[in-house]
Amino acid sequence: EVQLVESGGGLVQPGASLKLSCVASGFTFSDYWMSWVRQTPGKTMEWIGDIKYDGSYTNYAPSLKNRFTISRDNAKSTLYLQMSNVRSEDTATYYCTRDQNTYFDYWGQGVMVTVSS
Amino acid sequence: DIQMTQSPSLLSASVGDRVTLSCKASQNIYKYLNWYQQKLGEAPKLLIYYTNSLQTGIPSRFSGSGSGTDYTLTISSLQPEDVATYFCQQYNSWYTFGAGTKLELK
């Protein structure tokens, strides 16, 4: 059974940094692209970016490219999202997804990030 | 960016009804369109990919159609467990999602 389990969320102050993790199981992690997608409290869904199966290439939504960094550790079957200089508009639930380069076929349960002073 | 507009934003229907949800792209997306179902408090689940391909394990009452800029998700006979919010997502140019249609029982 495919499982994606996110962690690392919580309350963070504006301007701070935060690193989210996603541990994958039930499939060969190193064979798949992975993406992060977020959902705002108003339910708007936004793709953040993705990373190639070997970690050699990343893509980002243009509006987020300069503040967010996606990485992975295939030995640990873990995906990461490094968020820097966070803003109130980054408040959202962050989902780790398995990315088929067309659709997202598995999603984690999500982790909440709240940016507030 | 390609904008995705879903309508209606809220739909009330009865068990057994045929339900149609719409998704319109701001430009031609060449059938590069997926649908997801999100139940309250849960992560989204892939229903349909490439406009009309049913994901494994999804009931056959769900179907998709469309081309160009206009796409449709149809539930042939609404069941109580179909109460959810439905999102469309394009992948012709990066990935963008619609705002969702919330489906409730009348």
Mean pLDDT by 10 residues, chain B (106 residues): 96 97 98 98 96 97 98 98 98 96 97
pLDDT at residue A63 tops 90 = no
pLDDT at residue A65 tops 90 = no
- In this predicted structure, what is the pLDDT of residue B9? 97
- In this predicted structure, what is the pLDDT of residue A64? 83
Q: Which residue of A has its CA nearest to B5?
A: A44
Does residue A117 sit at the B interface (CB-CB below 8 Å)? no
Query: Contact at 8 Å (CB) between B55 and B48?
Result: yes
Does residue A27 sit at the B interface (CB-CB below 8 Å)? no
Q: How confident is the model at residue A62 (pLDDT cuts 50, 70, 90)?
A: confident
Q: Which residue of A has its CA nearest to B54?
A: A105
Long-range contacts of residues B14-19, Cβ cutoff 8 Å, at least 24 apart: B14/B78, B14/B105, B14/B106, B15/B78, B15/B79, B15/B80, B15/B105, B16/B77, B16/B78, B17/B77, B17/B78, B18/B74, B18/B75, B18/B76, B18/B77, B18/B78, B19/B74, B19/B75, B19/B78, B19/B82, B19/B103
For residue B6, the distance in angstroms to the closest alpha carbon of chain A comes to 12
Q: How confident is the model at residue A11 (pLDDT cuts 50, 70, 90)?
A: very high
Of A45, A61, A105, the CB nearest to B94: A61
Query: Contact at 8 Å (CB) between B78 and B16?
Result: yes
Q: Inter-chain contact A44–B91, Cβ cutoff 8 Å?
A: no
Residue with tokens 């301007």: A15
Residue A16 φ/ψ region, left for φ over 0, alpha for ψ in the -120 to 50 degree band, beta for the rest: beta
Which amino acid type is present at position B38? Q
Read off the pLDDT of residues B31-42 as tens digits, 9 standing for 90 and up: 999 999 999 999
Q: Inter-chain contact A110–B32, Cβ cutoff 8 Å?
A: no
pLDDT at residue A66 tops 90 = no
Q: How confident is the model at residue A91 (pLDDT cuts 50, 70, 90)?
A: very high
Q: With contacts defined as CB-CB under 8 Å, which chain A residues touch B99?
A: 43-44
Q: Look at residues A24, A44, A42, A41 and name the one whose alpha carbon lies nearest to residue A33.
A: A24
- In this predicted structure, what is the pLDDT of residue A52? 97
- In this predicted structure, what is the pLDDT of residue A58? 96
Does residue B53 sit at the A interface (CB-CB below 8 Å)? no
Based on its alpha-carbon atoms, the radius of gyration of chain A, rounded to whole angstroms, reads: 13
Of B46, B85, B95, the CB nearest to A47: B95
What 3-state class would DSSP assign to B73?
A: strand
- The average confidence (pLDDT) of chain B is 97
Does residue A1 sit at the B interface (CB-CB below 8 Å)? no
Does residue B50 sit at the A interface (CB-CB below 8 Å)? yes
Section A43-71 average pLDDT? 93
- The average confidence (pLDDT) of chain A is 96
